[in-house]
Amino acid sequence: MLDRFELKPTEDTPEIILDPENQVFKISGRSMPEDAFAFYTPVFTWLIEYVKNPNEKTDFICDLEYFNSSSAKKIVELFFILEEIKDKDVKVIWNYEKDDRLIETKGEELQILLKIPVEMVAID
Amino acid sequence: MKTKTIEWFFDILRDDNQCILYSGNFNDDITDRVIQLAEHNIDLHHEKVKIKKRVSYLLAECFQNIIRHGKVEDADDQMKQETGFFMSRNSDSKYYITSGNLIGVEFVEKLEGQLNQVNNLNQEELKLLYRKVITEGEMSEKGGAGLGLIDMARKSGRKLVYKFQEFNDLYALFYNQIILDSEAESVKKEQGAHNIEFAIQMHNKMVANKIILMQRGDFSRDSIIPILNIMENNVMSAIENSYLMKEIFHIMVELLQNIGRHGYEFESEKEGIFALSRNGNEYAVSAGNYIQNEKVDEFNKLLLKINGMTSDELKEAYIELLRDGDVTENGGAGIGLIDIARIATEKFEFKFSKVDTLKSFFTITVKNKLK
């Protein structure tokens, strides 16, 4: 099994925990690095390895309070990688604060874009 | 805010190393953060610790002075909104800290007397007076104002510059300017654009154009995040609705990062100007920066295209870019602009003005209000 991957949050990058052993796949906080490409590259590297030998079930939790447009692009690309295991039990859980139209809309767009389920969860 | 206003400010502020202007109500939160923003700018210019300490001290003293002399508990918010002013500029190794605020007319005479007293003393006399006030009590019954003024004059090593203006029967406007040299040998005279009259003119222009905050500085990568944090936690907390605030924050992020990516680089800085203004319930984020002439045509076309799109077309274009667009090369300016066009309540206002054979000055304003 692939080793746990973790990035601590900073003022402009999110916390990311990818831990197959404990069934935790989560990105949270805010993502607004100017160079989103550089930031997300190691995450891609990890996920590409993961999909070669994935868990039976992968619930990827997105708990993002804010992200800029270049992060949006990278986040979508992350989920494109997960599409490769769409035959398994894989889904994105998109948390957004009730009334937060900006984040809610981004989740709805993911539903249009992705071939894996995106579950929208409004948090009070 | 109009494009020509942002150009007007940029023309004036173009040779500054850094500049921040605030126009609006003063409260502790705002003052703390505006000071923080000004200090952050000093950090960027690697000033000596000693200078930084003095500037910070003078900034804080300046604000405390505003609060002490204010005595404007009864003035209405609108009035305070239009009279609170703060500006910190750094150019030619000098720091100019200017503030403006309402004071009750009954305090004008006394304050003017104190200012004259302080200005008539040399450094040695100021030191003696300072000690005297410390040991024997205030030179005025108005809590410590005297001490603050003496200290401001001591720390800046210059006469205090001030100006009173009529406001109405109850209140007057008090403007105060402190100048600090970061190099003792600096002998350059203050240029017209730095004197207090000109600061007042800038304040009036901000009020007329409903500008809350304006900053001119370096918008390359490392500089943007602290600016955004401070804006978000403070200046923007005045926005009543947290989701509107988030949308405006998003517009700021995209516009500032746009400068970072596409701005014309000079001496490893991407200089630009950025402003937040409010007209009724509508907010406007404006940004201005230089761009290379050869980029103008393509960029102009992109903006015209975005302005010509309906909301459905924008959504479609956005999703297409997420699906296929390769944004690694230029960091995704297109996607960012399309994204903010989708939340903006008006079409983009933008303009390119050719500066010389290499660069043009680009300004853009994006408006938003609660939908």
Rounded average pLDDT over A25-41: 93
Other C-beta atoms lying within 10 Å of the C-beta of residue A20: 17
- Of the candidates A7, A13, A59, A57, the one whose C-alpha atom is nearest the C-alpha of residue A35 is A13
**For residue B321, which residues of chain A lie inside 8 Å, CB to CB?**
73
What pLDDT is attached to residue B310? 96
Q: How far apart are CA A123 and CA B185, in angstroms?
A: 61
Sign of torsion over alpha carbons B101, B105, B111, B113: positive
Note down the domain range covering A44. Answer: 5-123
- Could you give the ipTM of this predicted complex? 0.92
Shortest CA distance from B262: residue in chain A: A34
Residues of chain A whose beta carbon is less than 8 angstroms from a beta carbon of chain B are 11-12, 32, 34-37, 66, 68-70, 72-73, 76, 99-102, 109, 112-113
Other C-beta atoms lying within 10 Å of the C-beta of residue B43: 11
What pLDDT is attached to residue B326? 60
Shortest distance between the Cα of A83 and any Cα of chain B, in A, equals 13
CA angle (B60, B61, B65) in 5-degree steps: 120
Is residue B342 classed exposed, middle or buried when 0-12, 13-18 and 19+ CB atoms within 10 A define those classes? Answer: middle
pLDDT score of B329 more than 60? no
| More confidently predicted of A51 and B178 | A51
Contact (CB, 8 A) for B102 and B172: yes
Shortest CA distance from B340: residue in chain A: A69
Shortest CA distance from A70: residue in chain B: B332
Residue B27 backbone dihedrals phi, psi, to 5 degrees: -140, 175
What pLDDT is attached to residue B330? 47
Sign of torsion over alpha carbons B64, B211, A67, B290: negative
Least confident of B64-78, B154-168, B271-285: B64-78
What pLDDT is attached to residue B101? 87
What pLDDT is attached to residue B184? 52
Residue B331 pLDDT grade (very low, low, confident, very high; cuts 50, 70, 90): very low
What CATH code is carried by the domain that includes residue A98? Answer: 3.30.750.24
Calculate the CA dihedral of residues A84, A89, A90, A94 and round it to 10 degrees: 160
pLDDT score of A13 more than 90? yes
State the Rg of chain B over Cα. 22
Structural domains in chain A (count): 1
What pLDDT is attached to residue B142? 47
**Segment B8-66, tens digit of pLDDT:** 888 888 778 778 888 887 766 666 767 777 777 666 666 677 777 777 777 777 777 66
What pLDDT is attached to residue B25? 78
pLDDT score of A31 more than 90? yes
Q: How far apart are CA B109 and CA B111, in angstroms?
A: 6
- Of the candidates B276, B304, B270, B142, the one whose C-alpha atom is nearest the C-alpha of residue B215 is B276
Rounded average pLDDT over A71-93: 94
Least confident of B11-15, B78-82, B236-240, B341-345: B236-240
Least confident of A51-65, B47-61, B86-100, B313-327: B47-61
What pLDDT is attached to residue B139? 53
Tell which of A10, A39, A65, A70 to mutate to test the B interface (max B CBs under 10 Å). A70
Rounded average pLDDT over B244-255: 91
**Segment B154-212, tens digit of pLDDT:** 888 888 899 999 999 989 999 988 888 766 544 445 556 778 998 999 999 999 999 98
CB hemisphere CA count around A28 (13 angstroms): 14
**Segment B338-350, tens digit of pLDDT:** 999 999 999 999 9
- Give me chain B's average pLDDT, please: 81
Shortest CA distance from A69: residue in chain B: B336
What pLDDT is attached to residue B286? 93
Rounded average pLDDT over B104-109: 87
**For residue B323, which residues of chain A lie inside 8 Å, CB to CB?**
76, 113
Inter-chain residue contact B323 with A35, CB threshold 8 Å: no
The partner residue sitting opposite B322, judged by closest CB among A32, A73, A101, is: A73
Hey, what are B224's tokens? 């943007």
Other C-beta atoms lying within 10 Å of the C-beta of residue A61: 18
pLDDT score of B127 more than 50? yes
Contact (CB, 8 A) for B163 and B128: no
What pLDDT is attached to residue B314? 95
What pLDDT is attached to residue A87? 92
Q: Could you tell me which residues come within 8 angstroms of residue B27 by beta carbon, excluding any fewer than 6 positions away? A: none
Domains of chain B: 19-216 (3.30.565.10), 219-371 (3.30.565)
Q: How far apart are CA B354 and CA B291, in angstroms?
A: 9
- Of the candidates B241, B275, B256, the one whose C-alpha atom is nearest the C-alpha of residue B340 is B256
What pLDDT is attached to residue B29? 66
